[in-house]
């Protein structure tokens, strides 16, 4: 049997989220794209900044599609995509449910405009997994204000209107949270082969850097109180990255695979120095705070690099 017209795995999550966006009002809580598809989202979002060194999409992108959601939303989730509920009652946490992408009405592989949600090079329907939380996080990390700290709204380009479709409940792990999850897959879950997780960590360096630059951007014509709140939130992201990079377990991985994440702090320091008029913070932020962070992380990296030789 010849292979049917498959939707590339890098595109499938966008089409699924487009459907979820249209039915998001039926969901009680947020649905968050996680896993390799979240990494690929940020690689695609910031693709113009990679130059000639774009990541290998085969390593960066997972084949199946992973979401984090609440158990109470599984039925609404399945209904939104018109697929059958397949609760994972006997499975091990954090998995809540697993679906084959088979249309509930036709009982055939789910399709959009004659293209099908299959695994690459096969006529097998792709799978979709709902977990309660990604590696490196607790349930409460996606409740209340923490949801907005650890995730961003998932944007889908609509070729028919030229607009971007979105809904506050359809979200994606932010680049720093993605990186945290990749490290935890190695240090706690011992994912093998490590080369895939390492490739994803390296691929996230560009998105993390530009994500932080965007978070610190000046907002004109708003009260000072809002400006301070925005700066405070941006610093929380920076602190999260520092703690992630500074972790001894994570630093050992960086030293082993020569992943110089301390350079993100160095690059931010020089960028803000050269563009300080475009940002609402004191010079001491980049000349002292960022410099101290960079020097600490650089020294620790060099020490552990020598220790593992």
Domain boundaries, the chain: 9-173, 175-307
pTM score, whole prediction: 0.94
Query: How far apart (Å, rounded) are the C-alpha atoms in residues 305 and 309?
Result: 7
Cα three-residue angle 8-97-64, rounded to 5 degrees:
20
235 three-state secondary structure:
helix
pLDDT at 118: 97
Query: How far apart (Å, rounded) are the C-alpha atoms in residues 67 and 161?
Result: 27
Only one residue has tokens 């610190």, namely 216
Structure tokens at 106: 């036709």
My answer on whether omega of the bond before 193 falls inside 30° of 0, hence cis, is yes
pLDDT at 308: 84
pLDDT at 184: 95
pLDDT at 1: 43
pLDDT at 59: 87
Phi then psi for 157, rounded to 5 degrees?
-75, 130
Contact 17, 154 (CB under 8 A): yes
What is the residue-level pLDDT of the chain in tens, covering all 309 positions?
456 899 999 999 999 999 999 999 999 999 999 999 999 999 999 999 999 888 988 889 899 999 999 999 999 999 999 999 765 555 555 589 999 999 999 999 999 999 999 999 999 999 999 999 999 999 899 999 999 999 999 999 998 888 999 999 999 999 999 999 999 999 987 766 689 999 999 999 999 999 999 999 877 767 888 888 889 999 999 999 999 999 999 999 999 999 999 999 999 999 999 998 888 888 899 999 999 999 999 999 999 999 987
- Burial of residue 279, with CB atoms counted within 10 A of its CB: 0-12 exposed, 13-18 middle, 19 or more buried: middle
pLDDT at 151: 98
Query: How far apart (Å, rounded) are the C-alpha atoms in residues 137 and 151?
Result: 12
Contact 57, 36 (CB under 8 A): no
Contacts of 276 (CB under 8 A, 6+ apart): 283, 286
130 three-state secondary structure:
strand
- Beta bridge mates, 83: 103
Nearest to 62 by CA among 134, 154, 152: 134
Nearest to 201 by CA among 176, 165, 219: 176
Structure tokens at 226: 């809002």
pLDDT at 196: 93
DSSP letter string over 4-41? P-BPPHHHHHHHHHHHHHHTGGG-SS-EEEEHHHHHHH
Query: How far apart (Å, rounded) are the C-alpha atoms in residues 16 and 232?
Result: 34
Contact 85, 78 (CB under 8 A): yes
55 three-state secondary structure:
coil
């Amino acid at each position: 049997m010849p292979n049917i017209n498959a939707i590339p795995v890098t595109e499938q999550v966008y089409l699924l989220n487009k459907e979820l966006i249209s039915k998001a009002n039926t969901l009680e809580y947020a649905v968050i794209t996680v896993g390799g598809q979240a990494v690929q989202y940020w690689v695609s979002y910031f693709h113009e900044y990679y130059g000639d060194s774009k990541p290998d999409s085969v390593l960066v992108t997972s084949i199946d599609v992973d979401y984090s959601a609440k158990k109470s939303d599984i039925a609404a989730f399945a209904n939104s995509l018109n697929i059958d509920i397949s609760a994972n009652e006997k499975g091990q946490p954090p998995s809540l449910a697993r679906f084959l992408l088979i249309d509930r009405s036709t009982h055939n592989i789910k399709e959009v405009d004659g293209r099908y949600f299959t695994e690459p090079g096969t006529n097998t329907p792709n799978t979709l997994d709902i977990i309660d939380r990604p590696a490196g996080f607790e349930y409460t990390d996606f409740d209340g204000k923490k949801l907005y700290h650890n995730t961003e709204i998932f944007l889908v380009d609509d070729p028919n209107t030229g607009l971007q479709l979105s809904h506050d409940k359809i979200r994606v792990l932010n680049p720093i949270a993605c990186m945290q999850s990749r490290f935890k897959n190695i240090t706690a879950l011992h994912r093998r082969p490590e080369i895939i997780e390492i490739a994803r960590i390296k691929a996230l360096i560009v998105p993390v850097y530009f994500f932080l630059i965007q978070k610190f951007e000046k907002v004109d014509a708003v009260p000072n109180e809002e400006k301070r709140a925005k700066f405070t939130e941006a610093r929380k992201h920076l602190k999260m990255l520092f703690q992630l990079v500074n972790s001894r377990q994570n630093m050992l991985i960086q030293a082993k695979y020569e992943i110089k994440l301390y350079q993100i702090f160095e690059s931010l320091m020089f960028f803000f120095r050269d563009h300080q008029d475009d940002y609402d913070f004191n010079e001491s932020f980049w000349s002292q705070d960022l410099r101290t962070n960079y020097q600490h992380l650089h020294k620790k990296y060099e020490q552990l690099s020598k220790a593992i030789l």
